[in-house]
Amino acid sequence: MAKYEVEARSRSEAPPEKVWEVLADVPRWAEWGPWNSSEFERQGTPPPGGVGAVRRLGRFAMTLREELTEYDPPTRMAYKLLSGLPLRDYRAEVDVSAADGASEVRWRSEFDGLPGVGALYRWQLQKAFEDITGRVARAAENR
């Protein structure tokens, strides 16, 4: 297994608190993101999306299940992939920081994957993260 990393950043003119509102509102991710459906399968502490929460994100025939492992509003959340992609030890974090009167969103992940297949998923996830961080930034600006 090889180790792969993915990272994307976007700037939002919205303050960090507005960006966090978008990130914390998982049932509305399907409104601004690339998913067909988005929901909590299980609530966490604090409810609904704190540590231990399980998110279900559907896109076409694929369903991702992710468990929140860290939840520190309004600056950071981290999660691990439970199912949905053939990757091992997938872990990710999303950081929101103030940036000159606006915000920066940083989405980063790392995972183990088979050579070749892992590189393909790295490429796909890089494109997805670039898209998603941009969508988060715009959704926060429009709130």
Which domain does 34 fall in, by range? 2-141
| pTM check: above 0.85 | yes
| pLDDT (mean) for 89-108 | 97
Round to whole Å and give the CA distance between 56 and 26: 9
Q: Give me the pLDDT at residue 1, please.
A: 85
Q: How many domains does the chain have?
A: 1
Q: Give me the pLDDT at residue 134, please.
A: 98
Round to whole Å and give the CA distance between 105 and 35: 19
| pLDDT (mean) for 33-57 | 97
| pLDDT (mean) for 74-99 | 97
Report the CATH number at residue 34: 3.30.530.20
Average pLDDT, the chain: 96
Give the rounded percent of residues in the chain with a pLDDT score beyond 90.
95
Cα–Cα distance list, 31 to 27, 49, 57, 98, 132 (Å): 9, 18, 12, 25, 12
